[in-house]
Amino acid sequence: MEVETMIHAGVVGIAGRMGSLLAQGIIDAEDMVLAGALEAKGHPVLGKDAGTIVGRDLQGVGISCVFEEAFASCDVIIDFTMPAVTVETARYAQEESKHLIIGTTGFDEEQLLMIRDCAGKVPVVMAPNMSIGVNVMFKVAAILTELLGKDYDVEIIEAHHRLKKDAPSGTALGLAISIAEAKGVELAKNACYERHGIIGARPDGEIGIQTLRAGDIVGDHTVLYAGNNERIELKHQAHSRQNFARGALRAVRWLKGREPGLYSMIDVLGL
Ligand code: NAD
Protein backbone atom coordinates (compact mmCIF):
# COMPACT_ATOMS: atom_id res chain seq x y z
CA MET A 1 0.00 0.00 0.00
CA GLU A 2 1.23 3.52 -0.86
CA VAL A 3 2.32 5.41 2.27
CA GLU A 4 0.00 8.35 1.36
CA THR A 5 -3.12 6.15 1.48
CA MET A 6 -2.15 4.48 4.76
CA ILE A 7 -3.68 5.61 8.05
CA HIS A 8 -1.25 7.84 9.94
CA ALA A 9 -1.80 7.01 13.61
CA GLY A 10 -0.29 8.50 16.76
CA VAL A 11 -0.14 7.09 20.30
CA VAL A 12 -0.41 9.02 23.57
CA GLY A 13 1.49 7.36 26.43
CA ILE A 14 3.61 5.19 24.14
CA ALA A 15 5.72 3.83 27.01
CA GLY A 16 2.65 2.53 28.89
CA ARG A 17 1.39 -1.05 29.02
CA MET A 18 -1.29 -0.35 26.38
CA GLY A 19 0.63 2.42 24.54
CA SER A 20 3.52 0.13 23.63
CA LEU A 21 1.19 -2.65 22.38
CA LEU A 22 -0.78 -0.14 20.31
CA ALA A 23 2.42 1.20 18.74
CA GLN A 24 3.59 -2.34 17.92
CA GLY A 25 0.19 -3.10 16.34
CA ILE A 26 0.32 0.03 14.19
CA ILE A 27 3.88 -0.70 13.02
CA ASP A 28 2.95 -4.30 12.19
CA ALA A 29 -0.26 -3.34 10.32
CA GLU A 30 -0.02 -3.19 6.52
CA ASP A 31 -2.44 -0.27 6.26
CA MET A 32 -1.04 1.97 9.03
CA VAL A 33 2.00 4.09 9.76
CA LEU A 34 3.12 5.11 13.25
CA ALA A 35 3.28 8.85 12.65
CA GLY A 36 3.48 10.29 16.17
CA ALA A 37 4.11 9.47 19.81
CA LEU A 38 3.62 11.44 23.01
CA GLU A 39 4.87 10.82 26.54
CA ALA A 40 4.74 12.74 29.81
CA LYS A 41 7.13 15.64 30.46
CA GLY A 42 10.37 14.33 31.99
CA HIS A 43 9.77 10.73 30.84
CA PRO A 44 13.07 8.95 30.01
CA VAL A 45 11.84 7.93 26.49
CA LEU A 46 11.43 11.55 25.28
CA GLY A 47 13.50 12.20 22.15
CA LYS A 48 13.98 8.47 21.48
CA ASP A 49 12.60 6.70 18.42
CA ALA A 50 9.03 5.41 18.80
CA GLY A 51 9.84 2.15 16.97
CA THR A 52 12.90 1.13 18.91
CA ILE A 53 11.37 1.73 22.35
CA VAL A 54 8.58 -0.76 21.56
CA GLY A 55 10.99 -3.39 20.22
CA ARG A 56 10.51 -2.70 16.51
CA ASP A 57 12.76 -1.19 13.77
CA LEU A 58 13.57 2.50 13.69
CA GLN A 59 10.48 4.45 12.54
CA GLY A 60 12.04 7.92 12.26
CA VAL A 61 9.45 9.22 14.75
CA GLY A 62 10.83 10.99 17.81
CA ILE A 63 8.80 10.82 21.04
CA SER A 64 7.69 14.28 22.16
CA CYS A 65 5.82 15.75 25.12
CA VAL A 66 4.20 18.48 22.95
CA PHE A 67 0.96 17.64 21.09
CA GLU A 68 1.65 19.93 18.11
CA GLU A 69 5.10 18.40 17.62
CA ALA A 70 3.99 14.80 18.17
CA PHE A 71 0.81 14.61 16.09
CA ALA A 72 1.08 17.19 13.27
CA SER A 73 1.14 14.48 10.59
CA CYS A 74 -1.42 12.11 12.20
CA ASP A 75 -4.97 11.43 10.95
CA VAL A 76 -5.94 9.65 14.14
CA ILE A 77 -4.72 9.64 17.75
CA ILE A 78 -5.10 6.70 20.16
CA ASP A 79 -5.14 7.49 23.87
CA PHE A 80 -5.01 4.87 26.64
CA THR A 81 -3.55 6.92 29.50
CA MET A 82 -5.40 8.68 32.32
CA PRO A 83 -8.43 11.00 32.35
CA ALA A 84 -6.62 14.34 32.81
CA VAL A 85 -4.27 13.53 29.91
CA THR A 86 -7.05 12.26 27.63
CA VAL A 87 -9.02 15.48 28.11
CA GLU A 88 -5.97 17.39 26.82
CA THR A 89 -5.74 15.00 23.86
CA ALA A 90 -9.45 15.58 23.12
CA ARG A 91 -8.90 19.34 23.22
CA TYR A 92 -6.04 19.04 20.73
CA ALA A 93 -7.97 16.59 18.48
CA GLN A 94 -10.93 18.97 18.40
CA GLU A 95 -8.78 21.99 17.51
CA GLU A 96 -6.76 20.17 14.86
CA SER A 97 -9.56 17.93 13.45
CA LYS A 98 -7.89 14.62 14.30
CA HIS A 99 -9.92 11.43 14.69
CA LEU A 100 -9.69 10.04 18.22
CA ILE A 101 -9.80 6.62 19.90
CA ILE A 102 -10.17 6.70 23.69
CA GLY A 103 -9.46 3.61 25.79
CA THR A 104 -8.78 5.48 29.06
CA THR A 105 -11.19 4.77 31.93
CA GLY A 106 -12.16 6.59 35.13
CA PHE A 107 -13.54 9.90 33.77
CA ASP A 108 -15.67 12.19 35.95
CA GLU A 109 -18.80 13.94 34.63
CA GLU A 110 -16.99 17.17 33.71
CA GLN A 111 -14.34 15.28 31.74
CA LEU A 112 -17.04 13.28 29.93
CA LEU A 113 -18.78 16.53 28.97
CA MET A 114 -15.57 17.80 27.41
CA ILE A 115 -15.18 14.55 25.42
CA ARG A 116 -18.81 14.81 24.21
CA ASP A 117 -18.08 18.38 23.14
CA CYS A 118 -15.02 17.18 21.20
CA ALA A 119 -17.14 14.47 19.53
CA GLY A 120 -19.44 17.22 18.25
CA LYS A 121 -16.56 18.33 16.01
CA VAL A 122 -14.58 15.15 15.24
CA PRO A 123 -15.38 11.41 15.18
CA VAL A 124 -14.43 9.68 18.44
CA VAL A 125 -14.62 6.04 19.48
CA MET A 126 -14.60 5.64 23.26
CA ALA A 127 -14.95 2.29 25.00
CA PRO A 128 -13.94 1.13 28.47
CA ASN A 129 -13.04 -2.22 26.98
CA MET A 130 -12.09 -2.71 23.34
CA SER A 131 -12.16 -6.52 23.34
CA ILE A 132 -14.72 -8.17 21.09
CA GLY A 133 -15.69 -10.70 23.77
CA VAL A 134 -16.51 -8.06 26.36
CA ASN A 135 -18.65 -6.04 23.96
CA VAL A 136 -20.61 -9.15 23.06
CA MET A 137 -20.93 -9.73 26.83
CA PHE A 138 -22.52 -6.26 27.25
CA LYS A 139 -25.26 -7.35 24.84
CA VAL A 140 -25.71 -10.81 26.36
CA ALA A 141 -25.86 -9.37 29.90
CA ALA A 142 -28.70 -7.06 28.85
CA ILE A 143 -30.60 -9.98 27.25
CA LEU A 144 -30.10 -12.24 30.31
CA THR A 145 -31.24 -9.46 32.63
CA GLU A 146 -34.45 -9.03 30.65
CA LEU A 147 -35.09 -12.76 30.35
CA LEU A 148 -34.48 -13.53 34.04
CA GLY A 149 -36.45 -10.58 35.38
CA LYS A 150 -36.60 -9.12 38.86
CA ASP A 151 -36.49 -12.42 40.78
CA TYR A 152 -32.76 -12.77 40.09
CA ASP A 153 -30.18 -10.73 42.02
CA VAL A 154 -27.40 -9.31 39.85
CA GLU A 155 -23.80 -8.91 41.04
CA ILE A 156 -20.89 -7.78 38.86
CA ILE A 157 -17.48 -8.93 40.08
CA GLU A 158 -14.30 -7.60 38.51
CA ALA A 159 -10.63 -8.40 39.18
CA HIS A 160 -7.57 -6.54 37.87
CA HIS A 161 -3.83 -6.23 38.50
CA ARG A 162 -2.56 -4.42 41.56
CA LEU A 163 -1.43 -1.31 39.60
CA LYS A 164 -4.85 -0.37 38.18
CA LYS A 165 -5.70 3.16 39.26
CA ASP A 166 -9.51 3.36 38.98
CA ALA A 167 -12.20 1.22 40.58
CA PRO A 168 -14.55 -0.27 39.69
CA SER A 169 -13.23 -0.90 36.18
CA GLY A 170 -14.78 0.99 33.28
CA THR A 171 -15.91 -2.38 31.94
CA ALA A 172 -17.75 -3.24 35.17
CA LEU A 173 -19.45 0.15 34.99
CA GLY A 174 -20.30 -0.48 31.33
CA LEU A 175 -21.89 -3.81 32.30
CA ALA A 176 -23.76 -2.09 35.15
CA ILE A 177 -25.13 0.53 32.74
CA SER A 178 -26.31 -2.18 30.27
CA ILE A 179 -27.94 -4.12 33.11
CA ALA A 180 -29.61 -1.04 34.64
CA GLU A 181 -30.99 -0.08 31.20
CA ALA A 182 -32.32 -3.62 30.70
CA LYS A 183 -33.95 -3.50 34.15
CA GLY A 184 -35.35 -0.04 33.40
CA VAL A 185 -33.82 1.46 36.57
CA GLU A 186 -31.42 4.31 37.33
CA LEU A 187 -27.94 2.93 38.09
CA ALA A 188 -27.05 5.73 40.55
CA LYS A 189 -30.02 4.79 42.75
CA ASN A 190 -29.51 1.01 42.60
CA ALA A 191 -25.73 0.45 42.52
CA CYS A 192 -23.93 -0.95 45.57
CA TYR A 193 -20.14 -0.61 45.38
CA GLU A 194 -19.17 -2.00 48.80
CA ARG A 195 -20.60 -3.86 51.77
CA HIS A 196 -19.26 -3.78 55.29
CA GLY A 197 -20.70 -4.33 58.79
CA ILE A 198 -24.35 -5.06 59.61
CA ILE A 199 -25.81 -4.40 56.20
CA GLY A 200 -29.21 -6.10 56.54
CA ALA A 201 -31.10 -7.82 53.75
CA ARG A 202 -30.24 -7.13 50.14
CA PRO A 203 -32.55 -4.43 48.76
CA ASP A 204 -34.71 -5.48 45.80
CA GLY A 205 -33.28 -4.41 42.48
CA GLU A 206 -29.79 -3.70 43.83
CA ILE A 207 -26.96 -4.05 41.30
CA GLY A 208 -23.79 -5.05 43.17
CA ILE A 209 -20.43 -4.04 41.67
CA GLN A 210 -17.51 -5.60 43.52
CA THR A 211 -13.83 -4.94 42.92
CA LEU A 212 -10.80 -7.20 43.46
CA ARG A 213 -7.20 -6.01 42.97
CA ALA A 214 -4.40 -8.58 42.98
CA GLY A 215 -1.17 -9.60 41.24
CA ASP A 216 -0.98 -9.25 37.46
CA ILE A 217 -4.59 -10.14 36.55
CA VAL A 218 -5.20 -8.61 33.09
CA GLY A 219 -8.97 -8.27 33.56
CA ASP A 220 -11.74 -10.64 34.72
CA HIS A 221 -15.45 -9.74 34.70
CA THR A 222 -18.28 -11.93 35.95
CA VAL A 223 -21.98 -11.17 36.05
CA LEU A 224 -23.71 -13.38 38.59
CA TYR A 225 -27.49 -13.86 38.32
CA ALA A 226 -28.71 -15.61 41.47
CA GLY A 227 -32.29 -16.72 41.98
CA ASN A 228 -33.80 -19.22 44.40
CA ASN A 229 -32.20 -22.65 43.92
CA GLU A 230 -30.07 -21.73 40.89
CA ARG A 231 -27.62 -19.26 39.46
CA ILE A 232 -26.05 -18.31 36.14
CA GLU A 233 -22.58 -16.81 35.76
CA LEU A 234 -21.50 -14.92 32.65
CA LYS A 235 -17.71 -14.66 32.69
CA HIS A 236 -15.05 -13.00 30.57
CA GLN A 237 -11.31 -13.32 31.20
CA ALA A 238 -8.73 -11.40 29.21
CA HIS A 239 -5.58 -13.50 28.74
CA SER A 240 -3.47 -10.59 27.51
CA ARG A 241 -3.77 -6.90 26.58
CA GLN A 242 -3.31 -7.76 22.87
CA ASN A 243 -7.05 -8.17 22.69
CA PHE A 244 -7.66 -4.52 23.64
CA ALA A 245 -5.01 -3.26 21.19
CA ARG A 246 -6.50 -5.32 18.34
CA GLY A 247 -9.95 -3.87 19.09
CA ALA A 248 -8.53 -0.33 19.14
CA LEU A 249 -6.93 -0.79 15.71
CA ARG A 250 -10.22 -2.16 14.38
CA ALA A 251 -11.85 1.05 15.67
CA VAL A 252 -9.17 3.14 13.90
CA ARG A 253 -10.05 1.53 10.55
CA TRP A 254 -13.82 1.80 11.17
CA LEU A 255 -13.54 5.51 12.03
CA LYS A 256 -12.00 6.48 8.68
CA GLY A 257 -14.44 8.70 6.79
CA ARG A 258 -17.03 8.85 9.62
CA GLU A 259 -19.02 11.93 10.56
CA PRO A 260 -18.26 13.62 13.92
CA GLY A 261 -19.91 11.79 16.82
CA LEU A 262 -19.26 9.73 19.90
CA TYR A 263 -19.15 6.06 18.91
CA SER A 264 -18.66 2.89 20.98
CA MET A 265 -17.22 -0.53 20.23
CA ILE A 266 -20.83 -1.71 19.88
CA ASP A 267 -21.00 0.61 16.83
CA VAL A 268 -17.58 -0.51 15.56
CA LEU A 269 -18.53 -4.20 15.79
CA GLY A 270 -22.02 -3.63 14.38
CA LEU A 271 -23.66 -5.21 17.45
P1 NAD B 1 0.05 2.70 32.08
O2 NAD B 1 0.21 3.41 33.39
O3 NAD B 1 0.90 1.49 31.79
O4 NAD B 1 0.28 3.73 30.86
C5 NAD B 1 -0.08 5.10 30.89
C6 NAD B 1 0.97 5.86 30.10
O7 NAD B 1 0.55 7.22 29.99
C8 NAD B 1 2.35 5.87 30.81
O9 NAD B 1 3.36 5.51 29.89
C10 NAD B 1 2.49 7.32 31.24
O11 NAD B 1 3.84 7.76 31.29
C12 NAD B 1 1.70 8.03 30.13
N13 NAD B 1 1.39 9.41 30.47
C14 NAD B 1 1.15 9.95 31.70
N15 NAD B 1 0.99 11.28 31.62
C16 NAD B 1 1.14 11.61 30.31
C17 NAD B 1 1.11 12.84 29.59
N18 NAD B 1 0.86 14.01 30.20
N19 NAD B 1 1.31 12.80 28.26
C20 NAD B 1 1.54 11.64 27.63
N21 NAD B 1 1.61 10.43 28.25
C22 NAD B 1 1.40 10.43 29.58
O23 NAD B 1 -1.49 2.33 31.97
P24 NAD B 1 -2.21 1.19 31.10
O25 NAD B 1 -2.30 -0.08 31.87
O26 NAD B 1 -1.63 1.17 29.72
O27 NAD B 1 -3.71 1.77 31.06
C28 NAD B 1 -3.98 3.06 30.58
C29 NAD B 1 -5.48 3.32 30.58
O30 NAD B 1 -6.12 2.44 29.65
C31 NAD B 1 -6.19 3.09 31.93
O32 NAD B 1 -7.19 4.07 32.09
C33 NAD B 1 -6.80 1.71 31.76
O34 NAD B 1 -7.93 1.52 32.60
C35 NAD B 1 -7.20 1.78 30.32
N36 NAD B 1 -7.38 0.48 29.64
C37 NAD B 1 -8.41 0.42 28.77
C38 NAD B 1 -8.61 -0.72 28.02
C39 NAD B 1 -9.70 -0.73 26.98
O40 NAD B 1 -9.88 -1.75 26.29
N41 NAD B 1 -10.43 0.37 26.80
C42 NAD B 1 -7.76 -1.82 28.18
C43 NAD B 1 -6.70 -1.72 29.09
C44 NAD B 1 -6.51 -0.55 29.81
Residue 137: give its domain's CATH number.
3.30.360.10
Please list, residue by residue across 120-142, b when 16 or more beta carbons sit within 10 angstroms of its beta carbon and e when fewer do: eebbbbbbbbbbbebbebbeebb
Res 125 pLDDT > 90 = yes
**Are 224 and 180 in a shared domain?**
yes
**Are 197 and 231 in a shared domain?**
yes
Domain count of the fold of the chain: 2
- Beta pairing partners, 211: 158
Distance CA 110, CA 114 (A): 6
**Are 146 and 223 in a shared domain?**
yes
- pLDDT, one tens digit per residue, over 185-221 is 999 999 999 999 999 999 999 999 999 999 999 999 9
- pLDDT score for 129: 92
Catalytic residues: 160, 164
- pLDDT, one tens digit per residue, over 55-72 is 999 999 999 999 999 999
- pLDDT score for 155: 98
- pLDDT score for 130: 95
- pLDDT, one tens digit per residue, over 64-120 is 999 999 999 999 999 999 999 999 999 999 999 999 999 999 999 999 999 999 999
**Are 224 and 245 in a shared domain?**
no
- pLDDT score for 271: 87
Res 1 pLDDT > 90 = no
Candidate from 82, 86, 240 with most ligand 1 atoms within 8 A of CB, to mutate: 82
**Are 145 and 194 in a shared domain?**
yes
Instruction: Place 162 in a pLDDT band, splitting at 50, 70 and 90.
Output: very high
Q: CA 171, 173, 177 angle in degrees (round to 5)?
A: 115
Residue 95's identity, in one-letter code, is E
**Are 50 and 83 in a shared domain?**
yes
**Are 116 and 245 in a shared domain?**
yes
Report the C-alpha dihedral over residues 45, 47, 48, 51, rounded to 10 degrees: 100
- When the pLDDT of each residue in the chain is averaged and rounded to a whole number, the result is 96
Cα(18) to centroid(ligand 1), Å: 6
**Are 97 and 117 in a shared domain?**
yes
**Are 7 and 120 in a shared domain?**
yes
**Are 211 and 136 in a shared domain?**
yes
Q: For residue 218, what are the domain limits?
A: 132-238
CATH number, domain at 86? 3.40.50.720
Distance CA 155, CA 253 (A): 35
Instruction: Place 136 in a pLDDT band, splitting at 50, 70 and 90.
Output: very high
Cα(81) to centroid(ligand 1), Å: 3
**Are 247 and 231 in a shared domain?**
no
